[in-house]
Amino acid sequence: MTYYSMGVAQDQCAQQKALLTEFLETVWSNGDIEASDRFIAPSYTIHNDPGDPWHGQTLTLEAFKDRVHQSRAPFPDQRFDVQEMIAEPGKVAVSWRWGGTFTGDMAGFKADGRKIAMTGLTIYSFTDGKLSGHWQLCDRLGVFQQLSAGG
């Protein structure tokens, strides 16, 4: 077990929150996928993310970039809006709201330009100051219900 002084732990948590906020804005919301190099560790594990095609996999940095590219394709204007963050050294939990315009076909659904939204909670892990994995629960069923309502 590692012991941290209160000040060191607070500094580390603040740095992790800032990095995660910048990552969500830069990579996921703005689509600057190449910026992943600044945020993602060489190995990134998706521990739990039911409904995600990469659920349970460990990805290289390049595979992570491909995941972001494929995930953003149906909703290129998507945005993650952070609601709350809770941190401890090595981990940050973030609740978020996500939304985007459905402009690219996906999973048997034809794009129709509708706004789609969901909420979720993700716990990110950090290794050597970079994101190295996550556990996530989100309302993918709600997304599919929204997609089905348009078809």
Enumerate residues 6+ apart whose C-beta is below 8 A from 98. 78, 79, 80, 81, 117, 118, 119, 120, 138
pLDDT above 70: percentage of residues in the chain = 95
Residues in the chain: 151
The mean per-residue pLDDT over the stretch 85-90 comes to 97
pLDDT (tens digit, 9 = 90+) per residue, 21-65?
999 999 999 999 999 999 999 999 999 999 899 999 999 999 999
pLDDT (tens digit, 9 = 90+) per residue, 52-61?
999 999 999 9
CATH class of 6-149: alpha beta
- Six token digits for residue 62: 């390049």
Pair 74, 102: CB distance under 8 Å = yes
**pLDDT band at 5, cuts 50/70/90?**
low
